Structure 1
Amino acid sequence: MQPIQLFDLASRQAQWLAVRQNVVAGNIANANTPHYAAKDVKPFQSVMQQTGVQMAATNPAHFTEGAMAAQVTETSMISDAQVEQSGNSVQLESELMKTGQIKRDYELNAGLVKAFHRMMLMTVRK
């Protein structure tokens, strides 16, 4: 029987979300600290690309990356962070938006794990 990778992936994302929440909370806590530079963590997608978890094509009918995938490049958004007179670059509005995004991502992660767990229990019962 093949191991189920979804739970491991969800666990990794939950850990990443916890780290990101701690970083954002630190930014908010230091919003009035002179010369404090706002921090953020690398996106989860780039973290997963470095760990080497990839989809396996175990059947010839499975989709794989085509030639167009090499044409797509990742663009980075230009940071509009303004440095205050005290040298602080924390923008409370953007940090609070990040906390909302983290909350939504965590709820989605937990909901997917819950649904997958229910599905697994239904298959075992039959």
Structure 2
Amino acid sequence: MEPVNLFDLATQQARWLSVRQTAVAGNIANINTPNYKAVDVEPFEKVLDGTRVAMSATHAQHQDTGVTPASFSLDERDDPQLLPSENSVVLEDELVKAGEVRRAFELNTAIVKAFHRMLMMTAKG
């Protein structure tokens, strides 16, 4: 059976979510560090802009698609609001981001499970 693009997309999003969770955890860990600037990752939509979500070559005689892996870089916030310690981490914002990451992981997992069940049902039939 050939790999399905949905699984690749779900894997890419899971990696992105892992990087974002690391950034959020780092921000929370440094909440009392003077002069620390909060970081975040570029939105997943921008990561997808650099990736073609389409069919790819699965055989040596197929044409090269030119798809390159997207980068998961950490960026400082554009306009951080500095606290008296000149730290830009706001705990409430970081907790909201952590909740978003958790919900996205849950949705990602649910979609992959449902798609896997569907594939298994078609293979049995």
TM-score, with length taken from structure 2: 0.77
1: CA distance between counterparts of 2:30 and 2:53?
Answer: 35
Structure 2 Cα separation of the partners of residues 17 and 89 of structure 1: 22
1:43 paired residue number: 43
For residues 26 and 8 of structure 1, the distance between their equivalents in structure 2, rounded to whole angstroms, comes to: 27
Query: 2:85 — aligned with what?
Result: 86
Please list every run of 5 or more consecutive structure 1 residues that lacks an aligned counterpart in the other structure.
56-78
- How much has 1:4 moved relative to structure 2? 1.3
Gaps of 5+ in 2: 56-77
Question: What residue in structure 2 maps to residue 16 of structure 1?
Answer: 16
Query: Could you tell me which residue of structure 2 aligns to residue 76 of structure 1?
Result: none
SS in 2 for 1:32: coil
- The structure showing larger relative contact order (alpha-carbon pairs under 8 Å, at least 6 residues apart) is 1
Q: TM-score, normalised by structure 1?
A: 0.76
Contact 1:28/1:95, CA 8 A, preserved across alignment: yes
| 2:104 corresponds to 1:105 | yes
Give distance in 2, aligned partners of 1:36 and 1:15.
Answer: 25
Residue 48 of structure 1, CA deviation:
1.0
Q: Separation in 2 of the partners of 1:52 and 1:86?
A: 43
Instruction: Give aligned pairs, total.
Output: 104
| CA deviation after TM superposition for structure 1 residue 85, in Å | 1.1
Higher strand share: 2
What stretches of structure 1 move > 2 A for 4+ residues in a row?
51-55, 79-82
Pairwise CA distance, 1:109:
0.1
Q: Superposition RMSD on alpha carbons, in Å?
A: 1.9
